Amino acid sequence: MQTLTFDSDDLDLTEDFLSRAYARMRIGGSPAGSRARVRRSATPSLSVDELALDFDMSYAVTPLGRICLCVVHEGTIEDHVYPGVQDSFGPGDVVSFAPPDQAYAGLVRAARYNITMLDPALLDQVATTAPASRPGPVRLTGHRPHSPAAADRLRGAITYLRDHVLADPDLADQPLVASTAAQHLAATVLATFPNSALTDPTGSDRADAHPAALRRALAYIDDHADEPVTVAEIAGAAHITVRALQYAFRRHLDTTPLAHLRRVRLAHAHHELLAGDPRDGTTVTQVAARWGFAHPGRFAALYRAAYGRSPHRTLVEP
């Protein structure tokens, strides 16, 4: 995991920092009282930044090459523009700033806000449409959430990522934790904004969702549970689309591919706890993180539901 912080009241230094941290940009503002503070936590595929500007700052930014989400805490962001869009945002708003390949501009008015960026390829990894069935990469086609409830879910996902996953460098550096967190954020983004991915299974998808394909998917999950795995990779191993994969799991097992993957990883964690010894330094938190469970409380709840006892009890009283 990478972290960085910035704190300055020099406009030139702020412009240089923002250009290096995001993309080449020009900013403007009054030299007096122009303090800017930025704190970033990042993995290779995503970053979460908290920014506080004590002044009014205009910005003109070249394309970021990444999905850029903004959650406004205080203040306003006004006259935010890119081709086809002009909008302003206030406290509580969660928006997509601009498509990865488009420049944008606007004005921050003494605001505190969050910027979360992720690799656009993550959307393709969690999208239900097969690559061969779409004209190009999955894109967001709107910058506002399609409902207040969807906005709340995305805001919650960003907060969880910031406060639980990225708050602990040792946890964020666990490959399965980082992969699971990135996929969850990408899936939440697709569920929040209008986008170009299709979700309903076609007739071909339904025909492909047969038991043999499901067996291939289950075998792939069993063989790769200790590795970062995407839904698209599971579908590829089963030789079907992601939509067909999800339909097969729903029809035959009444679950989802990722829920099944989580159960398999939970079983591995269970066996590791049975074999572990707290006298050797083994802890429930370490085992949970190794198998992709970032939140100890949620892991304990899942474990108790599956095995009827706490993971700590299993570790100390196998």
The two tokens of residue 147 are: 């409902």
Per-run averaged pLDDT (10 residues), the chain, 318 residues: 94 95 93 90 96 96 97 97 96 96 96 97 78 69 95 96 93 92 93 82 72 94 95 90 88 92 97 93 94 93 96 90
What does the pLDDT read at residue 199?
Answer: 63
What does the pLDDT read at residue 120?
Answer: 94
Categorise residue 155: left if φ over 0, alpha if ψ from -120 to 50, beta otherwise: alpha
Domains observed in the chain:
2-120 (2.60.120.10), 122-261 (no CATH), 262-316 (1.10.10.60)
What does the pLDDT read at residue 206?
Answer: 73
What does the pLDDT read at residue 128?
Answer: 63
What does the pLDDT read at residue 202?
Answer: 66
Indicate the pTM of the whole model. 0.84
